[in-house]
Structure 1
């Protein structure tokens, strides 16, 4: 799957089959279900999950918590829009 195909899938009522948990979290976030997206990565500790987790807390407006997760992901809080970061994360995962 490429970025354009994934982005188009957001218009569907159900996520694409056989995608990673990280992409599934990003899909739910893009569909306005922050809580479901957060629940998917909340108990994961790898760097990708930490990056998604950081992004979600940044989107929530909880910058202190976001900074904690960015550090866990070995990243700095980005100086870009949430939409651009969403795209960067999805492209990196794909």
Structure 2
């Protein structure tokens, strides 16, 4: 699936079938359902999940918690616009 197709799917009530859980989390966050996105990311133990988790806490405004999760992901804390980070994470996850 392309990023453009995923973005177009934001008009729908439910995510497209067949998304990986972390892409689905990013979809829910883009829909404005931070809690659902967080529940998905929190339930997965991987560096990618930690990256999504970091992004979500950054979006929430909790920089300290975000910093912890960036470290768990093995990444530097992001300082780019939130929408740019969403795109970066989602494109990388879609490319796998």
Q: TM-score, normalised by structure 1?
A: 0.97
Deviation, 1:43, is 2.6
The runs of 5 or more residues in structure 2 that have no matched partner are none
Write out the 4+ residue segments of structure 1 that deviate beyond 4 Å after TM superposition: none
The whole-number CA distance in structure 2 between the counterparts of 1:46 and 1:91 is 17
Deviation, 1:46, is 0.4
The whole-number CA distance in structure 2 between the counterparts of 1:43 and 1:5 is 26
Deviation, 1:13, is 1.1
Aligned residues, how many?
94
Q: Which residue is 1:72 aligned to?
A: 72
RMSD: 0.7
User: Aligned to 1:80, what secondary structure does the other structure show?
Assistant: coil
Write out aligned runs for 1:1-94 (5 A): 1-94=1-94
The whole-number CA distance in structure 1 between the counterparts of 2:89 and 2:10 is 15
Structure 1 residues 82-91 or 43-52, which shifts more? 43-52
The whole-number CA distance in structure 1 between the counterparts of 2:47 and 2:82 is 19
Deviation, 1:11, is 1.2
The runs of 5 or more residues in structure 1 that have no matched partner are none
